Amino acid sequence: MTLQLDAIKYALFTLCLFLFIACEKAPIEPITYPDVTAELCPYFQQFEEEAAKRNIVADLKLAGIKGKLVNISKGYVGLCSTHAEKEIRIDNHFWERSSDLSRELIVFHELGHCFLDRRHNNQKTVDGTCASMMRNGLGGCVDFYTEKTRTQLLDELFSGL
Ligand SMILES: [Zn+2]
């Protein structure tokens, strides 16, 4: 009897452990968006998740926002077009040489325009770094988007100072 009980306990423990590990390791199911280039999709998804963490519903599919990688001239690395339909365009060359964080910064910045209807904000922090991801990139403040500053800058993006 005791042995049986122990066996049940062990089985339950194993099951709990398995469920725990399964949950811990479960990857987030990647979402694809119609009319969004595959490389940009994870960033669209991340934008929705970061919005959700801040109690904002960002349904980029519903909003019909398109996204593509193209060659942009005139020194721009990204833009949000609101002509007829909303579309973000990111420069191919910029994309290829950029880190994950730089890619996130530019995609989120453009979604800041296209989805959040935000304008530029070149406000500086005391150390001269940009207080917002919505800086225009033409000077005035220095970009400092790192793992450390990310949460604060995302808070600012979604709160729309
Ligand atoms: Zn901009």
**Do the domain assignments include residue 6?**
no
Q: Contact 28/55 with Cβ under 8 angstroms? A: no
**pLDDT, average across residues 58-71:** 97
In terms of residues, how long is the chain?
161
For ligand 1, the distance from its centroid to the CA atom of residue 54, given in whole angstroms, is 22
Higher pLDDT, 18 or 97: 97
Residue numbers of the domain that contains 56? 30-159
For ligand 1, the distance from its centroid to the CA atom of residue 121, given in whole angstroms, is 9
Number of separate domains in the chain: 1
For ligand 1, the distance from its centroid to the CA atom of residue 33, given in whole angstroms, is 22
**Do the domain assignments include residue 17?**
no
Question: So what's the pLDDT on residue 13?
Answer: 59
For ligand 1, the distance from its centroid to the CA atom of residue 136, given in whole angstroms, is 5
**Do the domain assignments include residue 51?**
yes
Question: So what's the pLDDT on residue 22?
Answer: 54
Question: pLDDT (tens digit, 9 = 90+) per residue, 101-127?
Answer: 999 999 999 999 999 999 999 999 999
Question: So what's the pLDDT on residue 137?
Answer: 84
**Do the domain assignments include residue 99?**
yes
**Do the domain assignments include residue 103?**
yes
Question: So what's the pLDDT on residue 41?
Answer: 97
Question: In whole angstroms, what is the distance from residue 71 CA to residue 107 CA?
Answer: 15
Question: pLDDT (tens digit, 9 = 90+) per residue, 67-106?
Answer: 999 999 888 899 999 988 999 999 999 999 999 999 999 9
**Do the domain assignments include residue 127?**
yes
For ligand 1, the distance from its centroid to the CA atom of residue 154, given in whole angstroms, is 15
For ligand 1, the distance from its centroid to the CA atom of residue 55, given in whole angstroms, is 24
Residues 6+ apart with CB under 8 A from 129: 141, 142, 143, 144, 149
CATH (domain of 151)? 3.30.2010
**Do the domain assignments include residue 97?**
yes
Angle at 122 between CA 118 and CA 128, to 5 degrees: 145
Question: So what's the pLDDT on residue 103?
Answer: 98
Token representation of residue 46: 């991340």
**Do the domain assignments include residue 19?**
no
- Runs of H (alpha helix) within 54-133: 92-97, 100-114
Residue 25, φ and ψ in degrees, nearest 5: -95, -10
> What percent of the chain shows pLDDT beyond 70?
83
For ligand 1, the distance from its centroid to the CA atom of residue 135, given in whole angstroms, is 7
